[in-house]
Structure 1
């Protein structure tokens, strides 16, 4: 009989938690329910994760890896830099829609050192991705850019700024509240519009 390794058991916990969070919502799920799904004791869960918040964060890191892989796959098959930028936004929209019950924004806005670390890593990854897309645009003659890295960073700052402007507008008091689906759709629409405007300035004149 195969004896599960520590890594295998941790992965099973994350998969079971993601399934329950996605179906019932993160805040409505208890550690007891997750333990019941796995047919193990709650003490076993605490051996791998100190508390529910730690488990919740680990789940978000797991889906973050999936999210990054989906974006990278899109960039690997691009034939138009402009369309790829728009497709990346659509991937974000579908991702948030798929995992809306995981309370993504509530966790990412908690301001903890661990969250800040993950946010920094995400920023580095998205800067590299957008740089790759813009370099492709330059190489194919779609864009004219003197400093691709700087332009990619500016683009990402602009996209992020739209997100925070909508959050400030919609939630002036509840800073740690999760973002409503309709508010996120508003962000997506504005990001797509601004992308179309942004890339017009990068094309041959």
Structure 2
């Protein structure tokens, strides 16, 4: 089997798994169902993914690519750094709504600790780098005050991440936050972004 065909088959499996996970959740999806969807044998499926955990990890990587593709497009097309910072929150919100049934948090938590930590760090670093580009544009265009964009981007990202946890204090829930709880987080993040943008904008 040629490498190109292998890559195409792997992508086909991931697309089928992502569709299944989005509709029914990862926990309720079996390898047999995915194999049936793409009309291949279960043995063929296990050739590419030896177990369900491996498939979960690959789907998470695929979803991460889609998420950052959206962020990168926002950065590439931004006309205002302030607007781009606000759009970042909306992109995250739309992403969660689209993939909420994937049980992303559960998948990550069920992955090996080293993998979970690695993925969380990758997200944090990539998000901070994109925020830094937004700040750099704001400074260059005279929209923002002069600043150390690396430090400010890291601080902003850390505070936003912190809100994802602190905003739900006092709200009992188990596992992945519900859609209503995500709405609370997003609203808090939008309030913080407004205060932050006002603080760094040129008077």
Question: Which residue is 1:195 aligned to?
Answer: 193
Deviation track 1:150-200 (CA, whole Å, cap 9, x = no partner) reads 00000000000000213554357x4xx122111111111100110000111
Report the CA distance shift for 1:152/1:4 in structure 2 as closer, same or farther (over 3 A). Answer: closer
TM-score (norm 1): 0.91
Is the contact made by 2:145 and 2:200 (CA closer than 8 Å) also made in structure 1? yes
Shift of 1:50: 2.3
Return the alpha-carbon distance in structure 2 between the equivalents of residues 95 and 39 of structure 1: 29
Return the alpha-carbon distance in structure 1 between the equivalents of residues 91 and 147 of structure 2: 28
Question: Which residue is 1:23 aligned to?
Answer: 23
Shift of 1:27: 1.5
TM-score (norm 2): 0.92
Return the alpha-carbon distance in structure 1 between the equivalents of residues 29 and 155 of structure 2: 39
Report the CA distance shift for 1:26/1:168 in structure 2 as closer, same or farther (over 3 A). Answer: farther
Aligned length: 201
Question: Which residue is 1:154 aligned to?
Answer: 155
Is the contact made by 2:168 and 2:185 (CA closer than 8 Å) also made in structure 1? no
The gaps in structure 1 that reach 5 residues or longer are none
Structural RMSD (CA) = 1.8
Is the contact made by 1:74 and 1:87 (CA closer than 8 Å) also made in structure 2? yes
Is the contact made by 1:145 and 1:151 (CA closer than 8 Å) also made in structure 2? no
Question: Which residue is 1:54 aligned to?
Answer: 54
Is the contact made by 1:134 and 1:148 (CA closer than 8 Å) also made in structure 2? yes
Shift of 1:3: 9.4
Question: Which residue is 1:34 aligned to?
Answer: 34
Bigger CA drift: 150-159 or 103-112? Answer: 103-112
